[in-house]
């Protein structure tokens, strides 16, 4: 208790210091103006009303970046330590858990967007079926849904609460093969090990869990799909420190780094075909595993394609590799970051060459938090 009180007092002291520095800067503007301009341009009421004073103040503040950073750090520390609040976009939960506000807010037109996206998924499934291509939707629950006990006083809006069950029920009614990610993850012995505390993404452990659930669903529902078998091995290749994407909404460094949530470390995994030398096929660039394809080896047309968001595209989570090992087939990963789940599928279906005669299965990873967002959807 004493330690927390001391932190609060320090934050209040720094906040007062910044306020005092700002006031002194304001009163010093007249002196600065005198040294740079003629006497007819002195500080006066006209400067205040015309906005000149505000522009001069902003210029002085921007020029002294250290003071600006100081102020940002102090205000962030004040919000975080006293009120457990942060910049717009971030919500503070229990025990260092951070959540994106996207999982809680009601987007304008969210109900309409949800209905349109559900309809798009259904139509995409029908189009693929007409081309004799199977579809498996991998539905990923939001972090706030899986770890609802860690969200603190924050509760999702009504449209967010109903998103997952509404989507799941509709897809099941339409006989769209769907991995119920919530059921798989909530049944895990340690659900809190499946999401990162300071990031919006799952962990490699969660990616592996969902990959093997996908393989089990395929074997149970489409046992005669007849894919080219290929054995893969997944090995631990080290560990990596994660700077969570939610930390950008918490500008405490450098002054209050001691208030920052604890650094997270994830295990890194590498998947490669049995019989291949992994060091001939992969290199590490920072935290991302980049697979280098052999330039002169023959490339067979893909039978299995992975579509989705950064959950699939970011190789740190190794979802692609986990799928290869679980399915025992090669998987072509064409997931993209920053576009949500709907746009990549729309682009894929609008490309006539993409639906080749060799394609037999599309695995489509869809996080629920993107489904109340409106997307420009290509008709097909």
Residues with a catalytic annotation lie at 199, 201, 310
Inter-residue contact 291 to 281 (CB < 8 Å): yes
- CB count within 10 Å of CB 279 equals 9
19 three-state secondary structure: helix
One-character DSSP codes across 251-271: --TTTTGGGSPPPEEEEEEEE
Query: Cα–Cα distance between 226 and 228 in angstroms, integer?
Result: 7
Structure tokens at 212: 């093997």
Strand segments, DSSP code E, in the chain are 90-92, 98-100, 134-140, 177-180, 232-242, 264-273, 282-285, 288-291, 304-307, 332-333, 361-367
Query: Cα–Cα distance between 161 and 105 in angstroms, integer?
Result: 10
Inter-residue contact 319 to 215 (CB < 8 Å): no
Query: Cα–Cα distance between 200 and 220 in angstroms, integer?
Result: 31
Query: Cα–Cα distance between 296 and 310 in angstroms, integer?
Result: 29
Nearest CA-CA partner of 167 in 361, 364, 372, 376: 372
Nearest CA-CA partner of 326 in 224, 164, 246, 208: 208
């Amino acid at each position: 208790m004493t330690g927390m009180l001391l932190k609060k007092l320090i934050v209040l002291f720094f906040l007062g210091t910044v306020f005092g520095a700002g006031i002194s800067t304001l009163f010093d503007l007249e002196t600065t103006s005198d040294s740079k301009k003629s006497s007819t341009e002195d500080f006066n009421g006209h400067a205040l009303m015309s906005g000149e004073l505000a522009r001069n103040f902003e210029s002085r503040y921007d020029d002294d970046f250290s003071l600006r950073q100081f102020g940002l750090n102090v205000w962030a520390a004040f919000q975080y330590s006293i009120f457990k609040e942060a910049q717009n976009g971030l919500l503070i939960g229990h025990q260092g858990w951070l959540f994106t506000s996207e999982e809680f807010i009601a987007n304008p037109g969210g109900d309409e967007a949800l209905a349109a996206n559900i309809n798009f998924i259904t139509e995409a499934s029908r189009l693929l079926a007409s081309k004799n291509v199977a579809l498996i939707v991998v539905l990923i629950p939001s972090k706030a849904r899986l770890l609802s006990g860690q969200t603190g006083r924050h509760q999702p809006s009504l449209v967010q609460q109903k998103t997952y069950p509404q989507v799941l029920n509709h897809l099941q009614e339409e006989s769209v093969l769907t991995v119920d990610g919530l059921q798989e993850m909530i049944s895990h012995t340690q659900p809190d090990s499946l999401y990162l505390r300071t990031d919006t993404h799952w962990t490699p452990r969660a990616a592996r869990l969902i990959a093997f659930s996908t393989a089990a669903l395929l074997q149970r529902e489409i046992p005669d799909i007849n894919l080219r078998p290929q054995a893969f091995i997944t090995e631990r290749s080290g560990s990596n420190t994660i700077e969570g994407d939610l930390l950008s909404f918490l500008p405490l460094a450098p002054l209050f780094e001691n208030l920052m949530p604890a650094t997270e470390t994830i295990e890194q995994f590498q998947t490669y075909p049995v019989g291949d030398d992994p060091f001939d096929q992969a290199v590490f660039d920072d935290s991302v595993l980049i697979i280098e394809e052999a330039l002169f080896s023959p490339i067979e047309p893909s039978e299995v394609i992975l579509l989705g968001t950064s959950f699939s595209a970011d190789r740190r989570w190794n979802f692609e590799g986990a799928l290869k090992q679980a399915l025992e087939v090669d998987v072509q990963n064409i997931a993209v970051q920053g576009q949500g789940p709907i746009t990549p599928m729309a682009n894929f279906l609008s490309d006539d060459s993409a639906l080749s005669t060799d394609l037999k299965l599309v695995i489509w990873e869809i996080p629920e938090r993107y489904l109340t967002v409106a997307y420009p959807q290509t008709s097909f």
